[in-house]
């Protein structure tokens, strides 16, 4: 069983997002990137499947700031092979371009399973999974929380609104969009990541001819203006709590 997990790094939303003077992208100098949260679940799901049934896990990521940490962390968790995609990855490179390039690199690896995070918050032209599956000619099912493998097939639990789950069977090779791994992503101590930095190696593969025509162009980026903002309650915990109790009374819930 060979499982490939192509991941992406996205803006860390805890940081203040600054819009570039061009008004169409985020300011690259203040931007801090981190692993897309759902991709973290995809890595975890891949490692869990390997632990249960054996096999090999390959993690690949584009060469942007922070990529080495992401790849070595994956190795410390149990990934066997790390691939860094080298090329010119500005913010204008969209998922269509990446999915097409990644598909070309994945094909020769002949994976049984490709796992991606179901979405990221920066997917202006659709999430990676369905695009990648279409370029690979593999079936795709997304919003997955739960995967078991047997006999050349994956049985997956697809989530619908309201808590309804559809159990679907997918013929391998396939791409799955992971919403949540069977278990929360494991924590690895920094010493183990440092260990991985010494023992694991990162392969580099060049990506060229990125075609962005599958997504829209951006003519303006801006911060949303809320129709109404919350009335902010200032003060120490004691003062704020007293005001909240008053509000609870006014609302008739106390």
Q: Which residue has the tokens 């609104």?
A: 161
The nearer residue to other proteins, 7 or 99, going by C-beta atoms, is 99
**Smaller CB distance to other proteins: residue 18 or 194?**
18
CA 140 to chain centre: 16
Q: Which of 53, 124, 130 is nearest to 93 (CA)?
A: 124
Q: Among 103, 91, 60, 106, which Cα is nearest to 212's?
A: 91
Least distance to other proteins from the beta carbon of 137, Å? 10
Separation CA 60–CA 241 (nearest Å): 48
Nearest to other proteins of 80, 126 (CB atom): 126
d(CA 107, CA 82) in angstroms, rounded, equals 16
* 201 vs 240 by CB, closer to other proteins: 240
Give min distance, CB of 224 to other proteins, in A.
5
- The nearest distance, CB 69 to other proteins, in angstroms, is 21
Give the residue with the Cβ less far from other proteins, 200 or 218: 218
Q: How far is the CB of 195 from other proteins (least distance, A)?
A: 26
Shortest approach of other proteins to residue 99 CB, angstroms? Answer: 8
| Of 189 and 230, CB closest to other proteins | 230
Give the shortest CB-176-to-other proteins separation in angstroms. Answer: 11
For residue 167, give both structure tokens: 């159990």
In the beta sheet, which residues pair with residue 81?
58
Q: If DSSP states are collapsed to H, E and C, what string results for 174-200? A: EEEEECCCCCCCCCCCHHHHHHHHHHC
CA atoms within 13 A on the CB side of 172: 20
């Amino acid at each position: 069983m060979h499982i490939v997990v192509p991941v992406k790094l996205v803006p860390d939303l805890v940081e203040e997002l600054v819009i570039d003077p061009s008004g169409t992208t985020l300011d690259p100098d203040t931007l801090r990137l981190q692993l897309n949260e759902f991709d973290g679940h995809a890595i975890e799901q891949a490692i869990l499947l390997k632990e249960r049934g054996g096999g090999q896990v390959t993690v690949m990521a584009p060469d942007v700031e922070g990529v080495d940490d992401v790849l070595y962390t994956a190795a410390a968790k149990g990934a066997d092979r790390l691939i860094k995609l080298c090329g010119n990855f500005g913010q204008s490179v969209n998922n269509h371009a990446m999915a097409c390039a990644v598909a070309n690199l994945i094909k020769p690896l002949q994976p049984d399973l490709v796992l991606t995070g179901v979405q990221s918050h920066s997917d202006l032209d659709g999430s990676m999974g369905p695009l990648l599956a279409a370029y690979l000619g593999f079936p795709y099912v997304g919003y997955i929380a739960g995967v078991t493998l047997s006999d050349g097939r994956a049985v997956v639990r697809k989530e619908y609104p309201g808590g309804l789950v559809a159990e679907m069977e997918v013929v391998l090779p396939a791409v799955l969009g992971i919403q949540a791994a069977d278990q929360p992503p494991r924590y690895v101590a920094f010493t183990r990541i440092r260990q991985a930095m010494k023992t694991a190696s990162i392969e580099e593969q060049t990506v060229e001819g990125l075609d962005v025509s599958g997504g829209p162009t951006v003519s303006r980026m801006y911060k949303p203006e809320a129709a109404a903002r919350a009335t902010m309650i200032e003060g120490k915990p004691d003062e704020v709590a007293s005001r909240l109790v008053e509000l609870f009374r006014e609302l008739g819930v106390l």
